[in-house]
């Protein structure tokens, strides 16, 4: 028996708004301290957001319906697991732009806000598209399946570090806005007297004579980060919508999942050398999601009999796939280089 649509309860809206405001306040406080997040602190905040998500699931369970809690938890786990790949790309981008120390935290802050914003936008559009036609489910299944296949082929290709400073968004920025070719503290832009001072300090750097505003590599890095947020929103949103098409549950899973992204970045920075097979589990998870999307769309389009994956079964499959990735990393660790 299907549960009725939950809609947009005021209580849930207030909780989600409070979560976002609390996240921003804690991050602004961290900026004022002007330091990076340690592994211990990152672990604390990651556990904090997981517990917060479990508390929200309990709220759904007791105040609305246990089915809503299960759907939210599956969506939350999916969002957290798919954020792993998001974090990996963030690391590569920061390395290619030589972003580190306090500047890294500032750019990461903008990147996480972008991830949250684009996911919420795509979630609103995606749920509306699903309501319009079941064939959209087949299209989303193809997108997720194609993403998984690209990850497989990328693993077989050259894994050397790509130079994201040559990304099209960077070149496009240089066409419209002059760029100062060096990092300058934590500034995203330079203007006015700063430009004149830099012009006198190093005449070898070519700066347009009448330039009133200069972008720095930190701004270009932020642009690339935001562009990758859009790409990952294409993958993340269909995956969560495959679990539930209730907009408020999709948004809830997105918000709680993204809130732990910052802590996950600093945790994985230190633990990446141990979780060497988790990326394979992510690929398997994406193939499962594509199959689930196709099955659900096919049930509506072709009226397939007895093909249904319950929220509880979906939760068990997600945890099993991720658990196998962690277990494989423990049993078969990376070989030490000579």
Q: Residue 163: its pLDDT value, please?
A: 42
How many whole angstroms separate alpha carbon 53 and alpha carbon 76?
8
Give the pLDDT confidence of 112-171 residue by residue, as tens digits.
888 888 888 877 776 666 666 667 778 777 877 887 787 777 654 444 433 444 556 666
24 within some domain: yes
- What are the backbone dihedrals phi and psi of residue 179, each rounded to the nearest 5 degrees, phi first? -120, 130
Q: Residue 52: its pLDDT value, please?
A: 94
- Of 47-56, 66-75, 113-122, the range with the highest mean pLDDT is 47-56
Give the pLDDT confidence of 218-236 residue by residue, as tens digits.
888 888 888 777 767 776 7
Q: Which residue has the higher pLDDT, 284 or 160?
A: 284
How many whole angstroms separate alpha carbon 209 and alpha carbon 317?
61
Q: How far apart are the first and last CA of the chain?
A: 59
Range of the domain at 165: 10-179+216-331
202 within some domain: no
Work out the widest C-alpha separation in the chain, in whole angstroms.
Answer: 76
Give the pLDDT confidence of 296-321 residue by residue, as tens digits.
778 777 777 667 777 667 767 877 88
- Name the token pair of 120: 């919420």
How many whole angstroms separate alpha carbon 306 and alpha carbon 310?
12
Query: What number is the average pLDDT over the span 99-114?
Result: 79
Q: Is residue 9 scored above 60 in pLDDT?
A: yes
Query: What number is the average pLDDT over the span 76-97?
Result: 76
261 within some domain: yes
Q: Give the contacts of 23 (CB within 8 A, at least 6 positions apart).
A: 259
Query: What number is the average pLDDT over the span 245-261?
Result: 85
197 within some domain: no
Q: Which residue has the higher pLDDT, 192 or 213?
A: 213
Q: Residue 311: its pLDDT value, please?
A: 60
Closest CA to 119 of 6, 239, 224: 239
How many whole angstroms separate alpha carbon 26 and alpha carbon 31?
9
Q: Which residue has the higher pLDDT, 259 or 334?
A: 259
- For the chain, percent of residues with pLDDT exceeding 90: 5
192 within some domain: no
201 within some domain: no
Where do we find the tokens 């701004």?
A: 219
- What are the backbone dihedrals phi and psi of residue 204, each rounded to the nearest 5 degrees, phi first? -70, -20
Q: Residue 47: its pLDDT value, please?
A: 92
Q: Please count the structural domains in the chain.
A: 1
27 within some domain: yes
194 within some domain: no
Q: State pTM to two decimals.
A: 0.70
């Amino acid at each position: 028996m299907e549960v009725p649509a939950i809609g947009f309860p005021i209580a849930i809206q207030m909780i989600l708004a409070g979560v976002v405001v609390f996240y921003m306040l804690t991050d602004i406080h961290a900026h004022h301290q002007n330091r990076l997040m340690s592994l211990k602190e990152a672990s604390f905040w990651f556990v904090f957001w997981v517990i917060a998500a479990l508390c929200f699931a309990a709220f759904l369970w007791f105040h609305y319906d246990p089915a809503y809690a299960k759907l939210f938890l599956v969506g939350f786990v999916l969002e957290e697991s798919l954020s792993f790949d998001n974090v990996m790309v963030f690391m590569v981008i920061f390395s290619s732009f030589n972003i580190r120390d306090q500047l890294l935290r500032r750019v990461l802050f903008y990147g996480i806000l972008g991830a949250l914003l684009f996911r919420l936008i795509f979630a609103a559009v995606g749920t509306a598209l699903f309501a319009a036609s079941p064939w959209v489910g087949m299209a989303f299944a193809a997108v997720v399946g194609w993403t998984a296949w690209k990850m497989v082929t990328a693993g077989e290709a050259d894994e050397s570090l790509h130079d994201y400073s040559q990304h099209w968004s960077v070149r496009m920025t240089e066409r419209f806005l002059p760029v100062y070719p060096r990092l300058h503290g934590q500034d995203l832009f330079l203007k006015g007297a700063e430009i004149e001072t830099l012009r006198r300090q190093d005449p070898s750097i070519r700066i347009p004579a009448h330039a009133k505003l200069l972008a720095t590599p930190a701004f270009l890095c932020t642009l690339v980060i935001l562009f990758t947020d859009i790409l990952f929103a294409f993958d993340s949103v269909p995956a969560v919508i495959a679990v539930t098409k209730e907009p408020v549950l999709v948004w809830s899973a997105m918000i709680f999942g993204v809130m732990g992204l910052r802590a996950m970045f600093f945790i994985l920075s230190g633990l990446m050398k141990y979780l060497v097979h988790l990326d394979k589990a992510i690929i398997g998870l994406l193939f499962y999601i594509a199959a689930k999307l196709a099955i659900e769309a096919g049930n509506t389009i072709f009226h397939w009999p007895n093909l249904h994956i319950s929220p509880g079964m979906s939760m068990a499959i997600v945890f099993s796939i991720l658990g196998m990735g962690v277990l494989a990393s423990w049993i078969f660790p990376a070989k030490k280089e000579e």
